[in-house]
Structure 1
Amino acid sequence: MFQRHWTRSAILISCIAAAPALAQSDGGNPDLLAGMRPVTAEMLANPGAGDWLIWRKTYDSQGYSPLDQINTENVDRLAEAWRIPLGQGSSMATPLVHDGVMFLADTNDAVLALDASSGEELWRYEHATGPDATAGLNGKFGIAIYRETIIVPTLDLRLLALDFRTGEPVWEHAIAVSADSPNRYSLRAAPLLADGVVVQGVTATMVPEGGFVVGIDAGSGEELWRFQTVAGPDDPGGHTWNDIAGTERQGGSVWVSGSYDPELDLVYFGPAPTYHTAPLLDSVDIQGVSNDALYTNSTIALRPQSGELAWHFQHVANDQWDLDWSYERQIIEVDVNGSPRKAVITAGKMALYDALDAATGEYLFSIDLGLQNLVASIDPQTGVKTMNPNARPNAESAVLICPQPIGGRNWLAASVNPESNMLFLPLAETCMMGGPTGGDSQLLSTGAAIMGVAPPDSDGNIGRLQAINLETQELAWSFREFMPPSSAVLATGGGLVFGGAVDQSFKAFDQADGAVLWSTDLGDIAASFPISYSVDGKQHIALVIGQAGLHASALIGHAMQNSGGDMSRFSGLTREGPALVVFALP
């Protein structure tokens, strides 16, 4: 199978007492730390309603909390309970909560343990980042928790295990990469714990051989396997790279966290496309060779113990416009043609969902949310997409492409209510004039220029929250506003959907019809993943603000471009600074 195994001698593993780092205890509540239970595999597979143990709450990445104390009847009384300042920089961190303790990765490789009821700091760990740190790629999704450790990805390509009661290092693993360009790799995805293995996606920006997924033993820190997401010339799938040399094959970054099905024992990830598009633009005339570029823009299903590829499905081949299909893979139960199926669903930047059988990768169906003009048709049996020929880059003229690379959707994760099988997804209406090729574009090697434009016939409302009935595959409702969204969404058992926008607002929507039931000004942009948890019987909503990155800046620029010159809409952006903000009922 297409994988590479690395021996213990090829990696750095340290069970360390004198690490190049600092763990500090602020006293806090020692009984709270001492009372935490070890997090077992069973707890990860079936988490308690009050805890938030995984990036999107559960292995299926549904981003749903069953808590219902805060609901449609009382959410108008929701108030800020506490906030603490955070570090400057770009991040989209997700807090984890276990037995009343919150764990959070701050910028610059700091990790905090907090009393989840008050925000009181219990301990702080500060990693001494090495010279190969990717400071420009500080936007990390979060951390993981397993047994009695917190698993932390760092800016200098290390995975750390910290004692969750003290913050002291337990083990450290340095991920080996090309010595020629170590600062072009980064660890943005939150680690995924699957069957005792830390499964970590690795981002690789314009480097030979591209990105990969790595499996690390959660107990020792030993590297077990790698799966390269760019097929080399002699690998399965190697014939899909237009007969170009292995050193010219780039992309396949795995920068969004994966999902896990314990019953099938499969993890699901989505490698991104390549920026090195020029060698793939025109297909070579060689029998058996294509320019599809596996495994970019694919869903890959791997076995966590070995890294073996169980199946793959390529959503869009030969992506020439950086329209990733790299986002969350959500596992759902849904009827298809009258039969219950376990499916993996995902949408790329085109806001077009594909549903695949979770066990086999068989194509089931697609849902187009109406924001794209690249896909002309989809084969109902295979899911193979026929692209609009007018959307192909050319040397003569620019073409209208919807969306642009900031996406109709982006990393702002959707949420699924498994009780109603309703999906909620934040979207932005974006288009661009793409091309002609041969220019000095800094994004794509074809040189195709990219200029953002308003969608045809736009009424100026470019922000959306859409609700999709997964049983009927139809739109249930759509909320639209001028400001585009800036955060993932959170659905709860109280019939609510929470989400933030670039105007610093944070809203609670009614899941039934999209009505806004509550809204507040956060004081800064929410560019993260909201969570819900419970301590001592009290439900909380928490999110990080003020650490917005390039995507939020691009959305603000897009909104300004579509404002018709009316800058008054942006006068209230106070940018008070990074913070963790927590809400509860009085």
Structure 2
Amino acid sequence: MTNQDLFCRTGKALMLGAMLLSPLIATANDAKIPDTEWQLHGNDVGEQRHSALTQINRDNIEELGLQWSFDLYTRRGVEATPLMVNETLYVSGSWSMVYALDARTGKLRWFYDPKVPRSFLAKGCCDAVNRGVAYSDGRVFIGTYDGRLVALDADNGDVLWDVQTTDREQSYTITGAPRLAGDYVVIGNGGAELGVRGYVTAYDSKTGEQAWRFYTVPGNPGEGLESAALKEAAKTWTGQWWEWGGGGTVWDSMVYDPELNLLYIGVGNGSPWNAELRSPEGGDNLFLASIVALNASTGEYVWHYQTTPKETWDYTATQHIMLADLTIKGESRKVLMQAPKNGFFYVLDRKTGELLSADAYTPMTWASGVDLATGRPIETDTARVFDGKNISLPGNAGGHNWPPMSYSPDTGLVYLPTMNTPIAFLAPTREEDRTPSSGYWNVGFDRMANVPPDIPDLNAMYDSAVTGQLVGWDPIAGKAVWASEMGRFAGGGVLSTAGGLVFQGSGFAKLRAMDATNGKVLWSFDTQTLAAAAPISYSLDGEQYIAAAVGFGGGAGAEAGAVTHHWEIPNLSRVLVFKLGGSAELPPIPEDDRSLASQPAIVTASSEVVDHGRMVYQRHCSYCHGDGMRTAGLTPDLRHSNAMVHDNWKAIVLEGQRSGLGMVGFKQFINAGDAEAIRQYTLYEAGRLYDQQQNAKQENKQAKASASAE
């Protein structure tokens, strides 16, 4: 059977399914529906993120309206999947704060602040976000940004136990949601870009006592390796990788199969990204960029599949892992599905790890396919050409990042948020980039390849190059059945429902509902800010609700400031809850005038010093303050620095005068001359911004005058 024949048959099956589903939806809409909770991170144990509720459906979606909203207490990124248990909505916000809200009204029942030191902001990659809590037997579990796992009383928010899961002296953070595995609660961590070694840890959910720990990459063999699996993994590494940390953090996806008693973890990138530095004589570097199955009771290794051997592009396998039962070639298979950053959609036998299929879901330049016999990608000749000109697709942001996908058993489709994010990597040109620097960013590439060009408006350039789509993906046929229109790359996580709908936040500050069979947009709501987290659905008193946590930030707002600066999306951290007939309204968006109040001080240094400042800035400062100083507002836009900042510039940049706010000192990497060069570059960019804003005001004034004359 050809792919075309399979596509046609799939399309006919979907149309027939939609016809059969319509009367069922109508019948369910007329009947009173039972109370339905959302107790697990992905709703069911397979994390399919599909709701069986049908009261809200294709026929009445236009009646969906806002029922209530709740403003969170911070103004950073929001990426959490809420839970709804016992008529209470549990949602985490930035800085790992937890809010317990009445699921009917939004009234605050209790609030927990773990009081994470703000200095930890510099220890993380992509904002002080949190992706959700876990719930079990009257306990709510939260992983905190400073590396703790905390159990709270679900009724009142009291702390039941609090354990430190990381070394606070190293750059470990936690942004992922804990997962439940039998009697244990399991948590990973992040920090690969800053030189740490990844692991996951299981704790007794009642007492907080550690049950087991699994390291994802080997440490120093001279100090002993923790397991037989790591002894085998060490054979795939060369050089002195442990001095770099190794990486392999499990910063997001985990899922537990209670029938097989297996915990599946998605392992991240290496530390550093550049494989030539961490493993100079080659090797696959297990278990980087791998899906690893562990015995949930003991933490012992069972099997693994590596998506990207010798990973070097930040192609993590930490993206959403989903379990399902699929009929493949006439045989029912228990499968695991994942669309990691590298651009391939994988279907594995979850008992054995056998690769069943691997198909490209997004354009790519690094590989032409996957050899199903060996399971290895077929790399292109230019895959590892890092000259600052060769384009890598996907870029380090991936073809799919952390926003979760969903799977509908009604349509047989996976709803996958994809991205097109090209990037040019440049091999290191300085000795500093070839040297481990634990606690500070060092990915082993030269950031100068990512400096935006000096053009007035980057909006058109970036919006055309960096795009995203929602794809209705057939995991059996290995191809897209439909794809939404191209949009901005920051498409949010997905919820599918038995009402024939798919809900997703778009990069244009909208929450949308689409027809699950063809992707047609049926409903849209202006969220006023980015809706990156996946929505959920629950029902109470015979009414179905859709809930979403929203708020601009995360990697889109922190690391990708060059792209997001032109979006003019504010951070309005909120919980939004909808139902049929809802009539609540959001308050007006606060005015956000980013124009410079007065002309900046003039540059007093030579063009050579300014160019040097651009280089030092891009290599050390751009991770937080944006490529070319195009920041999204979560971290200070240095072009707006006032006289007080300039007067204390060296104390801030070198000595860490504002480390309590997350701005650490860099005196071990740069000297006073470098710091002054950065300041001069800041003045140069501030002057360019001021001129652009003045020109824009003049053009607007002329346009208004012309319109008035007409």
d(CA) in 1 for partners of 2:273 and 2:92?
A: 35
1:146–1:383 Cα change, 3 Å: same
**Range moving further from structure 2, 437-446 or 534-543:** 437-446
Matches within 5 A, 1:544-563: 544-552=549-557, 557-558=562-563
Alignment-derived partner of residue 76 in structure 1: 62
Pairing 1:187–2:212 present: no
Pairing 1:261–2:257 present: yes
1:106–1:444 Cα change, 3 Å: closer
Root-mean-square deviation (Å): 2.7
Task: Report how far residue 154 of structure 1 moved.
Answer: 1.5
Pairing 1:386–2:382 present: no
8 Å CA contact 1:404, 1:452 repeated in 2: no
Pairing 1:427–2:418 present: yes
Secondary structure class of the residue paired with 2:297: coil
Pairing 1:139–2:139 present: no
8 Å CA contact 1:527, 1:552 repeated in 2: no
Matches within 5 A, 1:352-431: 352-394=344-386, 398-431=389-422
1:197–1:472 Cα change, 3 Å: same
1:67 to 50, 53, 58: 53
Task: Report how far residue 338 of structure 1 moved.
Answer: 2.5
Matches within 5 A, 1:410-559: 410-438=401-429, 444-447=443-446, 449-451=448-450, 462-552=467-557, 557-558=562-563
Task: Report how far residue 387 of structure 1 moved.
Answer: 1.0
Amino acid at match of 2:252: V
d(CA) in 2 for partners of 1:452 and 1:75?
A: 44
Task: Report how far residue 487 of structure 1 moved.
Answer: 1.3
d(CA) in 2 for partners of 1:416 and 1:100?
A: 26
**Range moving further from structure 2, 167-176 or 132-141:** 132-141
1:337–1:552 Cα change, 3 Å: farther
1:520–1:208 Cα change, 3 Å: closer
Cα offsets for 1:248-307 (capped at 9, x unmatched): 34211111131111100011111111141446369766xxxx421111100011112211
Which structure shows the higher strand fraction? Answer: 1
Secondary structure class of the residue paired with 1:551: helix
8 Å CA contact 2:506, 2:530 repeated in 1: yes
Alignment-derived partner of residue 599 in structure 2: none
d(CA) in 2 for partners of 1:452 and 1:76?
A: 44
Task: Report how far residue 351 of structure 1 moved.
Answer: 2.6
d(CA) in 2 for partners of 1:323 and 1:167?
A: 38
d(CA) in 1 for partners of 2:288 and 2:254?
A: 15
1:170 to 135, 160, 165: 160
d(CA) in 1 for partners of 2:137 and 2:254?
A: 20
Cα offsets for 1:113-149 (capped at 9, x unmatched): 1110110111222223358745754111111000011
d(CA) in 2 for partners of 1:474 and 1:355?
A: 12
Task: Report how far residue 449 of structure 1 moved.
Answer: 5.0
d(CA) in 2 for partners of 1:358 and 1:338?
A: 18
Matches within 5 A, 1:208-219: 210-219=197-206
2:269 to 267, 273, 285: 273
Alignment-derived partner of residue 594 in structure 2: none
**Range moving further from structure 2, 474-483 or 354-363:** 474-483
Secondary structure class of the residue paired with 1:108: helix
d(CA) in 2 for partners of 1:302 and 1:452?
A: 42
Aligned residues: 521
Cα offsets for 1:466-505 (capped at 9, x unmatched): 1112232222111123333431011111111111122111
Alignment-derived partner of residue 330 in structure 2: 338
**Range moving further from structure 2, 186-195 or 385-394:** 385-394
Computing the radius of gyration over CA atoms, which structure comes out larger, 1 or 2? 2
Amino acid at match of 2:544: Q
1:84–1:334 Cα change, 3 Å: same
For structure 1, the residue ranges without an aligned partner over 5 or more in a row are: 1-47, 561-566
Cα offsets for 1:128-174 (capped at 9, x unmatched): 33587457541111110000111111222211111111211111212
Secondary structure class of the residue paired with 1:236: helix
Alignment-derived partner of residue 328 in structure 1: 320
d(CA) in 2 for partners of 1:414 and 1:279?
A: 29
Task: Report how far residue 207 of structure 1 moved.
Answer: 5.8
Secondary structure class of the residue paired with 1:237: helix
**Range moving further from structure 2, 198-207 or 303-312:** 198-207
d(CA) in 1 for partners of 2:395 and 2:389?
A: 13
Secondary structure class of the residue paired with 2:247: coil
d(CA) in 2 for partners of 1:548 and 1:114?
A: 23
Task: Report how far residue 86 of structure 1 moved.
Answer: 0.5
2:97 to 110, 131, 137: 110
d(CA) in 1 for partners of 2:399 and 2:345?
A: 12
Amino acid at match of 2:443: L
Amino acid at match of 2:489: P
1:351 to 335, 340, 343: 343
1:209–1:85 Cα change, 3 Å: closer
Amino acid at match of 1:501: S
Cα offsets for 1:502-532 (capped at 9, x unmatched): 2111110101111000011111111212111
1:199–1:475 Cα change, 3 Å: same
8 Å CA contact 1:464, 1:485 repeated in 2: no
TM-score normalised by length of structure 1? 0.83
d(CA) in 2 for partners of 1:56 and 1:332?
A: 13
8 Å CA contact 2:247, 2:271 repeated in 1: yes
8 Å CA contact 2:252, 2:402 repeated in 1: yes
1:392–1:492 Cα change, 3 Å: same
Alignment-derived partner of residue 87 in structure 1: 73
Alignment-derived partner of residue 154 in structure 1: 144
Cα offsets for 1:349-406 (capped at 9, x unmatched): 2331111110111111112113211112321223211211212034x56211112112
Amino acid at match of 1:583: F
1:407–1:347 Cα change, 3 Å: same
Matches within 5 A, 1:16-95: 50-88=36-74, 89-95=76-82
1:85–1:337 Cα change, 3 Å: same
Secondary structure class of the residue paired with 2:485: strand
Secondary structure class of the residue paired with 2:156: coil
8 Å CA contact 1:484, 1:555 repeated in 2: no
Secondary structure class of the residue paired with 1:296: coil
Alignment-derived partner of residue 633 in structure 2: none
Cα offsets for 1:54-102 (capped at 9, x unmatched): 1111221211111111100011111000001112222311211012111
Amino acid at match of 2:531: A
TM-score normalised by length of structure 2? 0.69
8 Å CA contact 1:209, 1:247 repeated in 2: no
d(CA) in 1 for partners of 2:497 and 2:191?
A: 35
Secondary structure class of the residue paired with 1:322: coil
1:220 to 201, 207, 213: 207
2:283 to 291, 309, 315: 291
Alignment-derived partner of residue 698 in structure 2: none
Task: Among all aligned residue pairs of Structure 1 and Structure 2, give the percentage whose two residues are the same amino acid.
Answer: 28
d(CA) in 1 for partners of 2:117 and 2:557?
A: 28
d(CA) in 1 for partners of 2:494 and 2:118?
A: 36
d(CA) in 1 for partners of 2:246 and 2:189?
A: 13
8 Å CA contact 2:179, 2:185 repeated in 1: yes
